[in-house]
Chain A
Amino acid sequence: MAATATTIDVSHLSKSFGPVEAVSDLSFVVEPGSVTGFLGPNGAGKTTTLRMLLGLVTPSSGSASFGGVGYRDLPSPLTTVGTALEASSFHPGRTARRHLGIYATAAAIDRSRIDAVLEQVGIAQYADRRVGGYSLGMRQRLGLAFALLGDPRVLVLDEPINGLDPEGIRWIRGFLRELANEGRTVLVSSHLLSEVQQSVDRAIIISRGRLVFDGTLGDLEFTARVAVDAPDRRALHAALLAAGARVDVTDDGLIVKELDAAAVGAIAHRAGVALSLLAAQQEGLESAFLELTSEAPPPRAGAHSGGAHAAPAAAPPVTPTAGGAS
């Protein structure tokens, strides 16, 4: 089945800013008809990845495309892919309507779309005010209006929920769902899982520029922990390690990661260890998310001790040392 221009295809994508590797060997696919969350802590490389996807940043290696076609080679980019990056790309002295008018002109999009998208995101009554006077929430909506201008089949939204009030957050959740139900491909980045967990079907999680999770939120819950204990704790520990589980020892027992309670129980049963405690820790997705993103990926922990060099404004990966050169 041939890929279409509505599928986002990221393949072995890497980007270095000087000595700092912002994104390393990242691969994932985003299919139409669902909302996909692109998650990771601040500085994980989300924005750099999206900017490479959109042809704004040139990858060091690898590729990012829409069904095999790079953004710069799309015959009509704005009507294929709608983008809202961080909410600051406006001239403060220009009105919202004129801001959209410029890019509608550049992309040869019918001017009737300007009123349509202003209406759609709910800022039509402010359309003739200068953007300099806009609140962050209004700028976010104007950013979305820009994304929708070409009525694209693919939407790439970077932190669209940031700065919205509760009413705005509820609105955008419904809005994202609606866009996906129309069969569009929706990729939404966020540094907070809780912000998007009600609206995304799938999550792609990166940490320090690397993929750490790609699957449904249901799958993500299985990566949560299970608390387990036995009168013979040493035998249980040995059995779990023998089964290849990842185990932390605490004062109150053992914490097993990346296995569900049933699997842990089965391991204990096979080893003939009687359990005194077996409880899936229902701290929810957020803790699983933190678990995934707080750890350094094993192969290259501490690899960037060289420090942050006059790094470009694009978020460099979190490095333990910040006292580098000017």
Chain B
Amino acid sequence: MSVVSATRAEFAKVVTVRLWWILALVMFAYVGLLAGVLAGVFGGLDLGGGSAGPQLDLGQVHLVVYSTASAIGYVFPVLLGALSATSEFRHQTLTPTFLANPRRAQVLVAKAVAMAVVGAFYGLVALVASVGTGAVVLSAVGRDARLDDPDTWVLAARVLLAMALWAVIGVALGTLVPNQVAVLVIVLAFTQFVEPILRSVSPIWEWTAQVGQFLPGAASDALVGWSVFTTLGSASADAVALEWWQGGLVLFAIALVAGVIGYFAVWKRDVT
């Protein structure tokens, strides 16, 4: 009954049911597909056609393609993290969990740590998908995959960190909203609709752009450093003013605040 054994138990909970690899598989296919499409489209752009298309530094196409690992894939560790918490409520496994370790704060921290490890693993899987298909397609359209670029590997390291943080945010959300259906709807609606819309309109005014960079997806892109969202469309480079480490801190703060509220509002409640 220590943090170490609690973390090992939480890790075992993830890998003893099938959800983790099913989600990882879906993420792999989804990220791989989008990275391949992006590499094909932007890799095929003529260097001279810059004035017609969006403002795009084509020297960094490989980074934009590889960053889909987190820019597109981040929803998967959030879902896994959220479900890891809500399934405890849904299947009433909080009862044996708290019987084995009545220190509930310790259990929650252990769950967050275990999910951070799994989230980083998801980052690895997503990178294999985005770099794998991205590099192949870039080469196929006659562009250098730039695997020797140190920025590629800086990006990869930050993707691992971002995906770990997203999984922890998932745990915090699942603790705050223990209803499985509700948390699924919230995560999907926010990440797939609400936030993309907010991010596309936030640069309209100076102050909304300032606020918009603290949106979790924007903070994540700031942490990773490159993203299809910040490179394309109306989101000008000015909107991303956060340093990479500030982006990471914003994600961590979101997880911390949601987790602390969830702990006091839900996790400590009577288990009936």
Contact = CB atoms under 8 A, between A and B. Distances in A.
Interface of A: 47-48, 51, 54-58, 71-72, 74, 76-78, 83, 85, 88-95, 98-99, 101-103, 105-108, 146, 312-314
A89 B96 contact: yes
Given A56-B270, A71-B102, A78-B99, A102 B12 contact: yes
A314 B272 contact: yes
Contacts of A74: 102
Given A56-B271, A94-B17, A98-B16, A89 B93 contact: yes
Contact of A93 (B17, B97, B102): B17
Given A51-B270, A57-B272, A91-B87, 7 more contacts: A48-B272, A56-B270, A102-B12, A105-B8, A105-B12, A106-B5, A106-B6
Interface of B: 1-2, 5-6, 8-9, 12-13, 16-19, 87, 91-93, 95-103, 270-272
B16 A54 contact: no
Contact of B99 (A77, A95, A312): A77
A256 B2 CA distance: 59
Contact of B9 (A56, A57, A58, A106): A106
B270 A83 contact: no
Contacts of A108: 1-2, 5
B1 A90 contact: no
B77 to A, nearest CB: 20
11 contacts: A56-B98, A57-B270, A71-B102, A76-B1, A83-B99, A85-B95, A91-B93, A94-B16, A102-B16, A103-B97, A314-B272
A141 to B, nearest CB: 15
Contacts of A102: 9, 12-13, 16
A288 B101 CA distance: 40
Given A101-B12, A312-B270, A312-B272, A56 B18 contact: no
B91 A106 contact: no
A94 B103 CA distance: 24
Interface centre among B13, B96, B99, B101 (most CB of A within 10 A): B99
B179 to A, nearest CB: 13
Contact of B95 (A56, A76, A95, A106): A56
